[in-house]
Chains A and B, each alone.
Chain A
Amino acid sequence: MVVKNRVYGGALIQFLLWVLRIGFFLFAHGVIIWLIYSIFIFITGGPTRHMDFPVMFSFADEGSLKTLNDDSAAKFYMRGATGAIMSDEVPRGFLAIYSFIALLIKVLFLLSLRLTIRILDSVRIGKFFIVENAIRLRYIGLLGIVFFILDRLGTVISASYFSDRLEFSGMVFTSFNLFSWVTLNSLFISLFLLVIAEAFRIGAQLKAENDLTI
């Protein structure tokens, strides 16, 4: 007799699995195309069209502030911001370093996506509270931290390269800007995931013990 695995979670889990699998498929193919394109540019030395490089800048200008009584002078300034520059001519060395970091970030994202799909797969067959899922969650958290570090490293490298080569009126380009660099949201989410993973591991152990209590 063939015993089929019961499907838990129903439509929502199936839908999420569908979306994530399609997302994974599309993103993986995008990465492959991007990699081939990058290698082609690197070998031929052609222009890097449609390639964004992050830059850090601050902006300051004077203007007027309309209040209820009178217009008064005001100064607007941006303490730190991150933007992107599309440059066709970048040296090969810089392109290789930046592309390698960008590739690592994309691979980390794919790995996180794959782990999420595997977690949902286990939910589908009714095995949610298992130690394997706790380990997967922990890996996603750790990948998120590495992702954060690599992303910031790439930004600093790119900003350092472009800081003394860019000229736009009213704007000052910097190689490192603490205000735009320290956006810790993604890091906090990763740390939170690590806490959840630990709680999950303990929960899975308790469940395993409870399952073997007669």
Chain B
Amino acid sequence: MPIVVNLDVMLAKRKMSLTELSEKVGITISNLSILKKGKAKAIRFSTLQAICEVLECQPGDILEYIQEQE
């Protein structure tokens, strides 16, 4: 998928673990893991808002569009 999730990069920058983020955001680790691995089909605005609030970043820091090579 051309949308890449950079959640692991942001977590590393903030020196935060997935478990800690899960507790602060209120989303299960398994769901955050799906998001981190790029297996998610969609993300709710409310989830994005909560992650951005905790990680103090913009949605663009987490999501990135990379054009697919033909």
B43 is an interface residue with CB less than 8 A from chain A:
yes
Please measure, in the bound complex, the distance between the C-alpha atom of A76 and the C-alpha atom of B2, giving whole angstroms: 76
Please measure, in the bound complex, the distance between the C-alpha atom of A27 and the C-alpha atom of B38, giving whole angstroms: 49
Partner-binding segment picked from A123-131, A161-169, A206-214: A206-214
Residues of B contacting A209 in the complex (Cβ-Cβ under 8 angstroms):
41-42
Interface string of A174-213 (1 = CB under 8 A from B): 0000000000000000000000000000000000010011
Residues of B contacting A212 in the complex (Cβ-Cβ under 8 angstroms):
34, 39-42
Please measure, in the bound complex, the distance between the C-alpha atom of A213 and the C-alpha atom of B45, giving whole angstroms: 11
Number of chain A residues close to chain B: CB under 8 A: 4
B:4-34 near A, CB below 8 Å: 27, 31-32, 34
Residues of B contacting A214 in the complex (Cβ-Cβ under 8 angstroms):
27, 31-32, 34-35, 40, 42-44, 47
Please measure, in the bound complex, the distance between the C-alpha atom of A193 and the C-alpha atom of B39, giving whole angstroms: 33
Shortest CB-to-CB span from B56 to chain A, Å, is 20
Closest to B5 in A: A214
Please measure, in the bound complex, the distance between the C-alpha atom of A213 and the C-alpha atom of B47, giving whole angstroms: 10
Residues of B contacting A213 in the complex (Cβ-Cβ under 8 angstroms):
40-44
Closest to B39 in A: A212
22 CB contacts below 8 A, A to B, read A209-B41, A209-B42, A212-B34, A212-B39, A212-B40, A212-B41, A212-B42, A213-B40, A213-B41, A213-B42, A213-B43, A213-B44, A214-B27, A214-B31, A214-B32, A214-B34, A214-B35, A214-B40, A214-B42, A214-B43, A214-B44, A214-B47
B interface residues, Cβ below 8 angstroms from A: 27, 31-32, 34-35, 39-44, 47
Given A212-B39, A213-B44, 5 new contacts (CB under 8 A): A213-B43, A214-B31, A214-B34, A214-B35, A214-B42
